[in-house]
Every structure is written in C-alpha cells, then in structure tokens.
C-alpha cells in the first residue's frame, strides 16, 4: 500500500459505483450485453489506473486496494469486476514484473490515461485448453521480415468488446521454437471475434473466441519469450493477484446473495407466523452459517493481499485461498436458495442470478483438484527436505505419585 496516497475515497467511490452497477445488473444478465457504461464510469472515477504506477500517472495502489475495489464492484455486477480484475493483473505486471519492454509499458499506460483502454491475456485454446495443464499452445507466431505474423484460435477472451490489447500466448515457428506473449492490438487486420459465450452465469463478460489470421505486429512487441522446451513460466508471487482477485468476484456475488436474503427474511412476515422470517431459529442459524463462510473469506483474502503488499512470503497459500473462498461462495448461495424458498428461485428476484454467478467460478483454472494436487506435492517436498533431528526421549516416571487418602464419613 502506498504511504503517500489515501485510498479511502477511492474505495468509497468503488462502493458507490458497485451500488449503481447493481441497478442494471439484471439487464446485462438477461441480454448478455457488454456493460460499456460501467467502464466509462470506472474511467471517469480514475479506477482504471488504480494499480498503474504513479510515474505513469496512476494511483500506485497495491493488491489490498485492488481487492477492495474489485470486491465492491463484484457485489454490484460481477461481470464488470472480472474484466476489471484482469485489467489490474496486467497493469500491475507492467509496473512491477520487470518483464515488459519499456516501449510497451509507455504505450499501454498512455492509452489507459487517455480513455478506456483495457488489456487482458489470451492463453486458453479449444484443443489444448489452459496452459496450466502444461501443454504448449497451437497458436503460431511466424517471423516475416520485420514482423511477427500470428495465427491461432483463443477461447474465453474475457472483455473482448472493450479490449484495446490482448497478450497472446504463442509458439514461434523457428528451428528452435520459442514460447512468448505477443501484444496484439485488437484493431489489427486479421482479427475477428466469434460469439461463443452463452454461459449460465457471468453473462456480461462476453468471454468470446478470438480468431487470429496472420495478424502482424512488430518484432519487438513481445515479452517473456524463451525456448518453448522450458514451458510457460509464471511468477509465483505475482500469481497472488489472480488467486485473490478472481475469487473475490465470486465472494462478491455471495455477499449480494446474503444481502438479498437478509432483506427478504426481515421484511417477509407470513400470516401464519405473525412475525418476520428472520425471527425463526432455523433462518437465524442459516444466516449465521452464511456469516461464518463470508467472514472466513474476508479474512483469507485480506491476509494474502496484506502479505503480498508487505513483501511477506505466503508460498502456495494463495492457491489454497482461491479454493476455499470459491467453495464458500457457492455454499453461501446454495444455502441462501434453500432458505429463500420459491421466491429465491424466481427470476423476478436477484438471488438465483447470484447463485448462477457464484457457480461460474468453478470454471477458472486451475480447478480445485489441481490445486489439491499441487498442495499435496508441496507438502511432500517440505517433508522430504526437513532435516532429521534426533529427539531426546521424555523420561518415563516409574514411581507412583502419593495418593490422597479417602476418608469416609
């Protein structure tokens, strides 16, 4: 967290915008339209530059500030929050990873100052899936003169209607292939979007397919290029941004579900009961369980963000937090539906939408089984690396302690 900047007004503005975005969230869910107006509002509030460096006229916020803003927006309209979180991921990488060429940093941050110029990565493909599974992409970058010509098919290009750039993961066709991320402007010739996003939740993300047919970019517009035999290298520490911001979106949907349920149970008073539903012990117990899950989520997410900003190590804990927070979010909305009864599943109310949005979090790689496998392997490695320290046995007392006499009366 920057010591020179008071982020309280910024977070307050995000909370205000989240409440505004909630008013049109049902429209975007029903139509699948992209929420362009939401991003105009975020730009006007200066929130698109939240984590951009101060040197590039951003606010210089850290993960704690990004988490607070994304959580506030997600409570109102989670599709907007997901696109925003991806934008923040890329801009913090621009600022802190040291992997971006300076000319690309200047280009991207300048556009971000001047208007709505979102950026995201495109890595998943129809045949090979996510690179988290270890398979190289089939997207090819061919060197033709002073240009790279990129051809391939990417899926789940979240926010594509408003992306200015896409960081495309591709393999070169050189004698010794290299793997890298190529910064592709979405205005380039040879790009087209195939409308494929028709999910049950998070409908306004417009995570459609991106088709690249010989798209030309300068040779220098590439980062992280290295021999393909080394595979995709990720900065494990920077991974905390993904493992914190993405689950925060679905936690936001769960909090919106909790809010709906409290409003419903405190205002609904069946004639047979003669009092609000919130007075029923079963309802109170359910609401209490929901608070337990959400309290745990809040503490877990904050702990990772604060550790990251303070430079403290956290190892694989960030992945574990993603696992727990997303499972808790689904548990919250599932229980809320049970307690809400028929009104909860009505499309006239928002609860069923919050549930669909929360369930959509399961699609984000790495899936929980991969996280559990990763954590298990890390535990085994720690055990193998632990030095064998000879222990002194605790002496066994062979004498009996004096017994108190029992006096009968």
pLDDT for 111: 96
pLDDT for 401: 57
pLDDT by residue (tens digit) across 187-218? 999 999 999 999 999 999 999 999 999 999 99
Which of the following CATH numbers is that of domain 122-230: 2.40.110.10, 2.60.40.10, 1.10.8.420, 3.40.50.2300?
2.40.110.10
Residues in the chain: 409
Interatomic CA distance for residues 32 and 29, integer angstroms: 5
pLDDT by residue (tens digit) across 114-155? 999 999 999 999 999 888 777 899 999 999 999 999 999 999
The encoded tokens of residue 194 equal 């195939």
Question: How many distinct helices (H) and strands (E) make up the chain?
Answer: 11, 8
pLDDT for 403: 57
The domain ranges of the chain are 8-116, 122-230, 239-384
pLDDT by residue (tens digit) across 315-372? 999 999 999 999 999 999 999 999 999 999 999 999 999 999 999 999 999 999 999 9
pLDDT for 392: 81
Question: Is 239-384 in the same CATH topology as 122-230?
Answer: no
Task: Name the more confident of 399 and 387.
Answer: 387
How far is Cα of residue 144 from the mean position of the Cα atoms in its chain?
A: 37
Burial of 381 from C-beta contacts in 10 A (0-12 / 13-18 / 19+): exposed
Fold exhibited by the domain 8-116 = Butyryl-Coa Dehydrogenase, subunit A; domain 1 (1.10.540)
Interatomic CA distance for residues 345 and 403, integer angstroms: 67
pLDDT by residue (tens digit) across 267-315? 999 999 999 999 999 999 999 999 999 999 999 999 999 999 999 999 9
- Domain 239-384 superfamily per CATH: Butyryl-CoA Dehydrogenase, subunit A, domain 3 (1.20.140.10)
Buried b (16+ CB within 10 A) or exposed e, 208-225: bbbbbeebebeeebbbbe
Q: Check whether 405 has a pLDDT greater than 60.
A: no
Global pTM reads: 0.92
């Amino acid at each position: 967290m920057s010591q020179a900047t008071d982020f309280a007004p910024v977070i307050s503005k995000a909370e205000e915008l989240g409440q505004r975005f909630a008013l049109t969230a049902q429209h975007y869910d029903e139509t699948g339209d992209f929420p362009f107006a939401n991003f105009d509002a975020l730009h006007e509030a200066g929130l698109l530059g939240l984590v951009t460096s101060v040197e590039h006229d951003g606010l210089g916020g850290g993960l704690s500030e990004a988490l607070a803003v994304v959580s506030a927006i997600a409570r109102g309209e989670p599709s907007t929050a997901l696109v925003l979180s991806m934008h923040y991921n890329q801009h913090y990488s621009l600022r802190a990873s040291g992997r971006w060429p300076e000319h690309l940093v200047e280009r991207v941050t300048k556009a971000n100052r001047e208007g709505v110029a979102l950026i995201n990565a495109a890595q998943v493909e129809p045949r090979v899936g996510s690179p988290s599974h270890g398979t190289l992409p089939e997207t090819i970058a061919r060197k033709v003169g002073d240009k790279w010509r990129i051809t391939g098919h990417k899926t789940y290009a979240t926010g594509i209607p408003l992306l200015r750039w896409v960081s495309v993961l591709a393999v070169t066709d050189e004698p010794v292939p290299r793997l890298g991320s190529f910064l592709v402007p979405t205005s380039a010739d040879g790009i087209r979007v195939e409308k494929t996003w028709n999910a049950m939740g998070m409908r306004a993300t417009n995570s459609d397919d991106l088709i690249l047919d010989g798209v030309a970019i300068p040779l220098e517009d590439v980062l992280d290029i290295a021999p393909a035999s080394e595979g995709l290298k990720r900065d494990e520490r920077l991974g905390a941004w993904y493992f914190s911001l993405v689950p925060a979106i679905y936690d936001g949907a769960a909090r919106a579900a909790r809010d709906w349920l409290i409003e419903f149970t405190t205002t609904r008073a069946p004639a047979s009961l003669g009092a609000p539903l919130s007075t029923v012990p079963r309802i109170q117990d359910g609401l209490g369980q929901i608070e337990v899950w959400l309290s745990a989520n809040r503490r877990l997410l904050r702990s990772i963000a604060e550790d990251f900003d303070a430079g403290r190590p956290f190892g694989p804990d960030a992945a574990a937090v993603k696992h727990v927070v997303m499972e808790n979010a689904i548990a919250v909305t599932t229980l809320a539906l049970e307690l809400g009864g028929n009104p909860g599943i009505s499309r006239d109310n928002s609860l069923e939408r919050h549930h669909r949005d929360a369930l959509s979090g399961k699609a984000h790689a790495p899936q929980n089984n991969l996280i559990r496998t990763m954590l298990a392997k890390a535990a085994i490695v720690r055990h193998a690396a632990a030095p064998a320290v000879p222990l002194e046995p605790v002496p066994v007392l062979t004498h009996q302690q004096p017994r108190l006499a029992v006096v009968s009366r």
